[in-house]
Structures are given as structure tokens and as C-alpha cells.
Structure 1
């Protein structure tokens, strides 16, 4: 796959995933939509592993990675799908855009990394400030249900990020797709239990848009998007890959406004801009070489 197509694919998939999550729960229930998506993802991922003969490690170290990743995925996705009923779809992307800031704090605490420089701390403060503005916006315009949804997204983001940092602490030498299949497979029983206790039945009728969204998330969101992202990491400098986290939240908000009739206010955009500015400062060491190369290019 040409790297330009992979890069554009990641942006489009990540930007459309929040809206697809919201659409997938229409009439189907959030638990059924989540379980169905993950089941499709595991089946497709396992088929790809088999067809291309990609190894799937099952030793104790790999099982530990699958268990940690599965636990963080279970909590993160369950809360995200529940919250999608109460918040703008674009805010899901914004909240998960904060994951680099959370990862820096957790890496400093768990891995002993010197990840909290002055610029990164300033970026974290701006990110928290933007988050506070968004919470204030939710309390004003959406009531307590929106605030609860935003809080659930924050907890989901922290849990998902904690899982990634913990996996880094464990160390993981498995192929990326194998890790994905193992992680989702480990979380699948939990998703099945949530569906059983929350809804307990297969919907009699699923709207075409909801069904399409479930299939899209299972195939593109869980398999193709993951493969394209790692393809970009392998062939592009880190600064270009990091730009994805700045592009997708804005694009997701615009898509929600255009395709789902979601109302955005100046206060909400101000909070988003604070978060994105914080991300730029946090990743300044990554972006700086790219900015320098841009300046040196002839006009």
C-alpha cells in the first residue's frame, strides 16, 4: 500500500470512527453494537493472520500482554460506547486526542521516563484547561447527562492509555496484528457479558445505517485502520504521524456537525483549540525537525 494512501486512510478512519460509533447504537443498543463490532474484528483479524501466515504467539508473556490490553480495551470501549449516547461524536475524538498527555504522566510514574519537561507540563496544563472548558460547556448546554458522558470518556481514555503504557512496561515482541487479535479476543467475553446483562437479546430489527456502521467499525476501525497506522509508523517520520492526532479531532467535530446535525459553539471550539495547542507543545520535540525542514524549503 502506498504510504500516502495509508496516511489518508488513518485520518479518515479515525475521524469517522466516533460518528460511526454513535450511528451503530441507533436502535441496536450500545452493548450489542460494541459486541458485534469486536466479534467482526476478531474474525477478520484471525482470517488475515491465517491467510498471510502471521504468527500468533501463545506463550506466557504474550498471554499477559493480551490480558492487560484486553482489560484496558474492555473498560475503555464499554465506557466510550455508553458515553456516545450523551455527547457529540466529535468529542470522542477530542478526548482520546488527550492520550499523549496522559501517557507522558503514566510513563513518568510507571516507567521512570523523563517525559515531563517544562514544555510538556505546559502542554498538559493547557490540555486540562481545554478539558475544563469543554466540561463547562457540557454542564451549560447538555445537562448532567452530557457531563456524565464526558467524564466517562475521560476515564475511558485514561484506562486505554494506561493499558498501552503497561504493555510497554511488560514488553511486547508479538506482531502488531496478533496483539490486536489477542487483545480483542481477551476482551470479547466481557463485551458479551455486558450485552447479555444490559440488553439480553438480539435486536429484532437493526436500521441499515446502524448495521453499516457496525460492519464498518469491525472491518475498517479494528483491522484496516490498525494496519494502515503501523504502515505509516514504519515509513514516515514521527512528526508526520503525530499530526494525525491534531487533524482528526477537528475533522471529527466538523463531520458530526455536517452529517449528524451536532451543534458546536465558540466555547467548545475554544476548549478544543486549547487541547490541540497543548498537544503541539507536548510533542514539540517531535514536530521541531519537521518545522525546520519546512522553513528551509525554497519558496
Structure 2
């Protein structure tokens, strides 16, 4: 089941960039995010109410759902959507891969969960692979104030995503249903986006044409309802650190799709980058604890010295 959830998350979130790119042509970031999560929330409300599966939760839990909505279904996406004006997609992917480290740190802070012995080596391999994969984008970035702003927005958005992961862990530890908490969180996130759109005088009605409707439906149904439910299930089943490692595989799927539809040309450093990411992914879930082996080897060396 874990493998199925992991593959589903990677395949779905590795292709959502298509829908996001289409959306951006027809709506502002706030309105695009509003439509995506409003439809997602509505779908969950309908399914959960008609199936009798909607879980009633305490006021305190609602407050955490509201915070989760801000972190995962709202403000973090504003950061990412705005950041693309200042940084290229490669740099954004590199920064978002820091979710692996943010999740490990936050899990230790909030739940006293120590990362597995393989976490460090696997995360470094994955991060190194991402850097190689987008090496040309990184070296072509011009260092200026706008670049720093873009990096800052990506970092804030990624940390918000990580905090949302921690809130999901908190929900599941309390025995709360993922679909219900996601429903509440998406609703709160949508209401915040609606408030922002109204406050700033934005047009809430983008063109109701096929490209926009198909993209928003794909993002709402697959990218949000199914994608986030599968991802947060993974967070509860295998831990936030391991679940976040899936973020390193999104570019692999995205670039594979781009190869067939946009003529992306693979370079040698991109191939080596993919190999490093796959090696790190294998190591993350391997029973062979390389981190502990290296630590013990160092310890034995110091004793002999």
C-alpha cells in the first residue's frame, strides 16, 4: 500500500505543473488557487456528506485545520506562484526539495522523532541530484535583489508546506480522518483566498473555456483531492521525512513528460542527477543502514587511533 501511495503522489504531483501553467494564462495566482481549492473542498464536502463519512471535530482541531489551510492550501501556493516571476523552475525545484530537511527538523522539534540512519546520506544524494538536474538553470541565474526575493518566497512556501505536514501528523495522532481534515483545511484556505481576491479587487471569474476548466478540474480532483490525501496518508504511515523524499522525484516525471510534449533534451549532468536521485530514493527505503555503518566505522577508526 505504501508503494502504491508513493507512486501515485509522484506521478500526480509530477504532472500538475501542466495544469498550473495553463491556469496562469487565464487567472491571477490568488484566483487560480481559489478555484482549485474551492472545487476540491466542494467535492470532498459532497462525497463525505452523502457517504456519512464526514467527521465532526473539536474547535481546537478546527483551528489547526485553519492553520493547515493557510500553510498548504493557500499562502504557500501564493509564494510559489509569485516566485516564478523572479526565479526559474530549476531553482524553485531545488529549494522545494528542502522540504526533506524541513520535515526532518520539524518532526524532531514537534514530535521528538529522530530521522532514520539513512536519512542524511539519502537526502544529500537527492539534493545533489536535483542540483545536477537543473545545473544549467542555476548557473544562468543572475544574482540580484529579485532573485533573492524569489528564493525567499520559495523557502517560505516550502517551510509552510512542511508545517502543514506536521499538522497532518498531529491530526492523525489524534485519530482524525484525513479526508475530513483536508476538507476543512481546503475550505478555510479557499475562504482566505476569496477574502484576498475581494480585498484586492481581483476578477473572480476567469474565462470559462476548455483549457482553464480542464486544468482546474485536473488540479482539483487529481492534484488536490487524490494527491494530498495520498501524500498525507504517506506522512502518517512512513513518516514526514520519508514522505517528503517523493518531492525529489517530481522533476523526473515532469521532465519525462516535457521530453515527449515540449522536446526537452536530456544532458549528461541531468542523467547523472536522475541516477543520484534514484540512488538516494533506494537508500532512503533500504534496510541497509549506511548511516549507522559509517558512524560505527568512524568510531572504530578513532578507537584504533
| Fold shared, TM-score > 0.5 on shorter chain | yes
Q: Deviation string for 1:199-244 (max 9, x for gaps)?
A: 61135635532331112111221213345557889999x9x98885
Secondary structure of 1:288 counterpart: coil
The residue number in structure 2 matching 1:79 is: 79
For residue 212 of structure 1, the aligned residue among 207, 211, 214 is 214
1:178 to 2:180 alignment? yes
Alignment of 1:161 with 2:162, yes or no, is: yes
SS in 1 for 2:287: helix
- Taking the aligned partners of 1:193 and 1:264, their CA distance within structure 2 comes to 43
Distance 1:127 1:160 in 2: 19
- Say yes or no: does 1:35 pair with 2:34: yes
Query: Alpha carbons of 1:79 and 1:221: their partners in 2 closer, same or farther (altered >3 Å)?
Result: same
CA contact 1:18–1:89 (8 Å) conserved in 2 = no
Higher alpha-carbon deviation: 271-280 or 182-191: 271-280
Q: Number of matched residues? A: 286
Q: 2:190 matched to which residue of 1?
A: 188
Matches within 5 A, 1:273-292: 280-281=282-283, 283=284, 286-288=285-287
Note the C-alpha offset of 1:91.
Answer: 6.8
User: What is residue 23 of structure 1 aligned with on the other side?
Assistant: 22
Matched with 1:293 is: none
Using the TM superposition, name which of 8-17 and 210-219 deviates more: 8-17
Counterpart CA distance in 1 for 2:132 and 2:148 is: 12
In structure 2, stretches of 5+ residues that fail to align are 289-305
- Whether 1:152 aligns to 2:158 is no
Q: 1:49–1:178: 8 Å Cα contact kept in structure 2? A: yes
Map of 1:126-275 to 2, 5 A cutoff? 126=125, 137-138=136-137, 140-143=139-142, 148-169=149-170, 171-197=173-199, 200-203=202-205, 205=207, 208-227=210-229, 244-245=246-247, 247-260=249-262
User: Per-residue deviation at 1:250?
Assistant: 0.5
Alpha-carbon contact 1:66-1:179 (below 8 Å) kept:
yes
Structure 1: unaligned runs, 5 residues or longer: 290-299
CA distance in structure 2 between the aligned counterparts of 1:3 and 1:75, rounded to whole angstroms = 29
Larger radius of gyration: 2
Q: CA deviation at 1:251?
A: 0.8
Provide closer, same or farther for how the CA distance between residues 194 and 273 of structure 1 changes in structure 2, counting only shifts above 3 A.
farther
